[in-house]
């Protein structure tokens, strides 16, 4: 494992990734990630508007992991999980720079039964232009949360509005119950 870590780092560099986190995601971690990214972009003299959009994408992606990842770990590893124990969701977030654009990669385990609905939503967003996305966002915001949603369901719409290219995504089957959902937003 140790011998491969340097190769892993070189591969991330080759792909333009300058920040990568894999593991349990929490609101507290999100604050720290934001502070780190803000400092890095300030050192690179990135425009404030771009830095805010990158951070916004990271927040939305992390929220998706927190709310929808099917892979969980107990928050308190010193004590066995109880029925009321708070859990942390597991996922991966990476931020990089290629072709003069920042990008945010995100991935987490999801239930296979959720793929169809998620794929349909993302394909529809890919087809919309900026004006359509703005109109759709307002329409969905007025509707409120959909059944089974842990939010207003606006995250992907908001990301699509802020992205400079349509959201890319992929589903990789893990087994009969789960798949790994990956997405990429370009700012």
Q: What is the CATH number of the domain that holds 63?
A: 3.30.565
**Residues 135-146, mean pLDDT to the nearest whole number:** 86
Q: What is the pLDDT of residue 87?
A: 87
Q: Per the domain annotation, does 144 fall within a domain?
A: no
Examine residue 83 and state whether it is found in any structural domain, yes or no.
yes
In the predicted model, is pLDDT for residue 80 greater than 80? Answer: no
User: Structural domain tally of the chain?
Assistant: 1
Structural domain contains residue 172: yes
Q: What is the rounded distance in angstroms from the CA atom of residue 109 to the CA atom of residue 182?
A: 9
SS3 content of the chain, % helix, strand, coil (to 5): 50, 25, 25
Which whole number is the average pLDDT over 67-82?
74
Distance of alpha carbon 165 from alpha carbon 46, whole angstroms: 19
Does 2 fall in a domain?
Answer: no
pLDDT at 152 over 60: no
C-alpha closest to that of 150 among 71, 29, 79, 68: 68
Give yes or no for residue 143 having a pLDDT over 70.
yes
Angle 176-180-181 from CA coordinates, rounded to 5°: 125
The pTM score is 0.88
pLDDT over 90 (residue 99)? yes
Q: End-to-end distance of the chain based on CA atoms, in angstroms?
A: 33
Residue pair 105/183 in contact by the 8 Å Cβ criterion? yes
Is the pLDDT confidence value at 98 over 80? yes
- Structural domain contains residue 119: no
Q: Is there a contact between 145 and 153 (Cβ–Cβ < 8 Å)? A: yes
> Mean pLDDT across the chain, nearest whole number?
90
Residues contacting residue 83 through CB under 8 Å, at least 6 positions apart = none
Q: How many CB atoms lie within 10 A of CB 31?
A: 11
Q: Yes or no: say if 105 and 91 are a contact pair by the CB < 8 Å rule.
A: no
- Domain contains 180: yes
Section 87-97 average pLDDT: 96
- Rounded-to-integer distance, Cα 68 and Cα 87, Å: 12
- Residues 162-183: pLDDT tens digits? 999 999 999 999 999 999 999 9
**Residue 46 forms part of a structural domain:** yes
pLDDT per position as a tens digit, 3-40 = 899 999 999 999 999 999 999 999 999 999 989 998 99
**pLDDT tops 80 at residue 77:** no
Domain of residue 171 covers 12-111+163-186
* pLDDT at residue 161 in the model: 95
- pLDDT beyond 80 at 84: no
Which two three-digit tokens encode residue 144? Answer: 């409120």
Q: Within a domain: residue 134?
A: no
């Amino acid at each position: 494992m140790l011998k491969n870590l340097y190769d892993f780092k070189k591969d991330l560099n080759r792909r333009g990734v300058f920040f990568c986190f894999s593991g349990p995601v929490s609101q507290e971690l999100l604050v720290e990630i934001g502070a780190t990214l803000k400092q890095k972009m300030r050192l690179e003299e990135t425009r404030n508007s771009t830095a805010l959009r990158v951070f916004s994408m990271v927040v939305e992606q992390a929220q998706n992991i927190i709310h929808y990842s099917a892979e969980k770990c107990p928050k308190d590893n010193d004590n066995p999980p109880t029925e009321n124990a708070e859990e942390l969701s597991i996922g991966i977030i990476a931020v990089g720079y290629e072709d003069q654009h920042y990008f945010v990669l995100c991935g987490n385990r999801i239930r296979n039964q959720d793929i169809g609905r998620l794929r349909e939503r993302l394909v529809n967003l890919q087809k919309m232009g900026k004006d359509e996305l703005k109109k759709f966002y307002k329409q969905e915001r007025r509707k409120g949360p959909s059944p089974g949603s842990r939010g207003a369901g606006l995250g992907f719409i908001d990301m699509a509005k802020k992205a400079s290219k349509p959201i890319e995504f992929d589903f990789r089957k893990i087994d009969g119950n789960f798949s790994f959902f990956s997405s990429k937003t370009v700012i």
